[in-house]
């Protein structure tokens, strides 16, 4: 285990020297550190100088990465070897955006021809929708796309559609139905004309409870209006790795867009899961996004660790998580278009790194993962930044922004950047004041990640950066970032309670849950009586 490694021990000793060092002191001793603790590569300007680190810190962290065979593990992932050890398969999301002519093998088979075939099917379909060639059952043009999916089948495409709205076709509205809460169902489908709407049922296994429940309800809604089952074939499509289940559900085989078992749900945006994004922004812009992913993939795979942005970002995170005891990490994009990015990274990191056993099945004696949260600047400056500045909690922050705005007035963007830079400075350096409650302690670390402009390409780079950050952390902690068995127990119990609420089947539960079920049943019974009386 890493806690038994010499490299880990040296970091513990180093932490004892660094734990009370203020960032202000580091800059006083080393005025040029801003020039040294930065990386400009792959279209990203990464400033990590406002961290509680020295050259020795970075050297010791890289020593740890080398001792954990990080370089070899990176190659294992890109080469299609079995890195998802608990499920016995590769994790080859990087192949989905392989823009070279090089083959990528899984069990001796080059998967690139299949990937290109699905990509072509996506491009043909999306262009037919966008041009108006592909129409609904009654001949009306498609003006609404509803993606039915949850988790990785929702968060990635929803983030991308909102982030890239500037580049989208404005006469086609893309919506997302993820929750089984009827309020979201009503909100998404209100004012939708069935004749102008297509539905993409997105589920890797095509067994996801929420997705299938919503799909069944949407089909009922659709048939109530269309009146003909024959109309379904022109309005319902599936995105899945389980074609048989999709066809069994009732989706025509030609309406199925495939991806593969070796693509994790939360890493699937660049697969057919990205179809709603391609419909929104067009095939050329979607390819630009793939090139952005690809450029960061190459940076991660081939750049020495000292200049490798995902590696440095991950190692600093481990430094704070495992030595400083940081429980949370804030993601703050200073761009309204990236308002869903904190939620996306939340799933990416917390579902990947929320593990309590290592790859050998042993309990880990160290904390893996952090609580990821955040908001959009400058809004969050007037909500939770007070705690960041004067609270007693240690919260590292990633600030994300762009040098050039998408929209006018440009002077507003200058003010936006000014606020982002100011928050980073205030967190790091604080302010002395004779009045205690006006004193800002400082010493709070942050990274700044900047690109020239929010484009499909720059969004791809940014997402890929965080994907690889998570992978690096998983290698150091010796955990599998590509499974999520922790979510299965809740699903199983929910199925049991659903049977009780609908069919009266009694299962064993703790006293608290039993009382909750009985209370809910009494209210449901009253509601059913009222509905019968109304009808």
Domain boundaries, the chain: 2-67+303-482, 94-285, 490-534
SS3 assignment, position 352: helix
Tokens standing for 467? 């994907």
109 is catalytic: no
Q: Could you tell me how far CA 326 lies from the centroid of its own chain?
A: 21
pLDDT of residue 533: 66
pLDDT of residue 530: 67
**Active-site option among 195, 340, 351, 467:** 351
Whole-number Å distance between alpha carbons of 399 and 388: 13
Whole-number Å distance between alpha carbons of 460 and 351: 20
Whole-number Å distance between alpha carbons of 117 and 73: 29
Kindly report, residue by residue over 59-106, the tens digit of the pLDDT: 999 999 999 999 999 999 999 999 999 999 999 999 999 999 999 999
For residues 473, 388, 451, 467, the Cα torsion angle rounded to the nearest 10 degrees is 20
3-state helix, strand, coil in the chain (%, to 5): 55, 10, 30
Sign of CA dihedral 38, 39, 45, 46: negative
Tokens standing for 531? 């509905």
Residue 331 backbone phi and psi in degrees, to 5: -110, 115
Of 470, 168, 446, 511, nearest to 318 (Cα)?
470
491 is catalytic: yes
Three-state SS annotation for 331-395: EEECCHHHCCHHHHHHHHHHHHHCCCECCCCCECCCCCCCEEEECCCCHHHHCCHHHHHHCCCCC
DSSP sequence for 450-504: EESS--HHHHHHHHHHHHHHHHHHHHHHT--TT--GGGHHHHHHHHHHHHHHHH-
Strands (E), 52-172: 105-106, 109-110, 144-148
**Active-site option among 19, 109, 229, 491:** 491
**Active-site option among 35, 170, 382, 392:** 382
Tokens standing for 502? 């609908």
DSSP sequence for 422-435: HHHHHHHH-B--SS
pLDDT of residue 34: 96
Strands (E), 170-286: 173-177, 197-202, 236-240, 256-258
Phi-psi group of 100: left, alpha or beta (phi > 0 → left; psi -120 to 50 → alpha; rest → beta): beta
pTM of the model: 0.96
496 is catalytic: no
Of 213, 212, 257, nearest to 239 (Cα)?
257
Whole-number Å distance between alpha carbons of 203 and 224: 25
Domains 2-67+303-482 and 94-285 alike in fold:
yes
Omega cis (within 30) before 444:
no
| CB atoms closer than 10 angstroms to residue 184 | 15
Report, at the CATH architecture level, how domain 2-67+303-482 is classified: 3-Layer(aba) Sandwich (3.40)
Of 262, 313, 317, 312, nearest to 477 (Cα)?
317
Whole-number Å distance between alpha carbons of 92 and 109: 13
First to last CA, the chain: 65
Tokens standing for 386? 């007070």
SS3 assignment, position 531: helix
Topology (CATH) of 94-285: Rossmann fold (3.40.50)
Tokens standing for 476? 């150091």
| Residues 174 and 206: beta-carbon distance below 8 Å | no
- Give me the chain's average pLDDT, please: 96
pLDDT of residue 529: 65
| Residues 466 and 266: beta-carbon distance below 8 Å | no
Which stretches of the chain score pLDDT less than 70?
528-535
Of 362, 296, 322, 355, nearest to 474 (Cα)?
355
Number of H helices, E strands in the chain: 19, 13
Tokens standing for 371? 């609580």
Omega cis (within 30) before 61:
no
pLDDT of residue 398: 98
| CB atoms closer than 10 angstroms to residue 427 | 24
Whole-number Å distance between alpha carbons of 238 and 255: 6
């Amino acid at each position: 285990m890493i806690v038994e490694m010499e490299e880990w021990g040296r970091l513990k000793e180093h932490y004892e020297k660094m734990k009370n060092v203020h960032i202000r002191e580091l800059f006083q001793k080393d005025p040029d550190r801003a020039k040294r603790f930065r990386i400009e590569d792959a279209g990203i300007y990464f400033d990590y100088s406002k961290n509680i680190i020295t050259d020795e810190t970075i050297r010791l962290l890289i020593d740890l990465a080398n001792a954990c065979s990080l370089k070899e593990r990176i190659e294992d992932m890109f080469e299609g070897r079995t890195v998802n050890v608990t499920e016995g398969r590769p994790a080859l999301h990087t192949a989905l955006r392989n823009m070279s002519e090089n083959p990528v093998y899984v069990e001796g088979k080059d998967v690139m021809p299949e990937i290109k075939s699905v990509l072509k099917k996506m491009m043909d379909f999306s262009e037919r929708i966008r041009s108006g060639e592909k129409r609904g059952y009654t001949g009306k043009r498609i003006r609404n796309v509803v993606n039915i999916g949850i988790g990785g089948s929702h968060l990635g495409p929803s983030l991308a559609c909102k982030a890239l709205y500037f580049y989208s076709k404005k006469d086609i509205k893309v919506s997302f139905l993820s929750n089984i809460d009827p309020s979201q169902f009503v909100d998404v489908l209100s004012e939708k004309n069935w004749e102008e709407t297509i539905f993409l049922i997105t589920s890797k296994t095509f067994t996801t409870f929420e997705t299938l429940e919503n799909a069944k309800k949407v089909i009922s809604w659709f048939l109530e209006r269309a009146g003909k089952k024959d109309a379904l074939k022109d309005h319902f499509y599936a995105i899945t790795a389980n074609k048989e289940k999709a066809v069994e559900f009732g989706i025509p085989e030609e309406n199925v867009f495939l991806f593969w078992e070796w693509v994790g749900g939360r890493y699937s945006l660049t697969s057919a899961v990205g179809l709603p994004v391609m419909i929104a922004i067009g095939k050329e812009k979607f390819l630009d996004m793939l090139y952005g992913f690809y450029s960061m993939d190459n940076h991660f795979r081939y750049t020495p660790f000292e200049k490798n942005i995902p590696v440095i970002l991950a190692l600093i995170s481990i430094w704070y998580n495992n030595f400083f005891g940081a429980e949370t990490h804030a993601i703050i994009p200073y761009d309204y278009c990236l308002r869903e990015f904190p939620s996306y990274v939340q799933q990416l990191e917390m579902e990947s790194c929320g593990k309590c056993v290592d790859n050998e099945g042993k309990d880990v004696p160290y904390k893996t993962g952090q609580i990821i949260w955040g908001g959009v600047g400058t809004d969050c400056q007037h909500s939770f930044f007070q705690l960041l500045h004067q609270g007693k909690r240690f919260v590292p922050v990633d600030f994300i922004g762009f040098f050039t705005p998408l929209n006018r007035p440009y002077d507003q963007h200058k003010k936006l950047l000014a606020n982002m830079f100011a928050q980073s400075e205030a967190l790091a350096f604080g302010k002395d004041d004779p009045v205690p409650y006006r004193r800002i302690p400082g010493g709070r670390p942050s990274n700044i990640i900047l690109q020239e402009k929010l484009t499909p390409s720059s969004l791809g780079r940014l997402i890929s950066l965080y994907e690889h950050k998570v992978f690096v952390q998983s290698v150091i902690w010796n955990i599998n970032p590509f499974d999520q068995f922790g979510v299965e127990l809740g699903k199983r119990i929910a199925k049991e309670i659903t049977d009780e609420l609908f069919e009266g089947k009694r299962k064993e539960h703790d006293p608290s849950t039993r009382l909750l079920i009985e209370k809910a049943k009494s209210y449901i019974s009253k509601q059913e009586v009222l509905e019968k009386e109304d009808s």
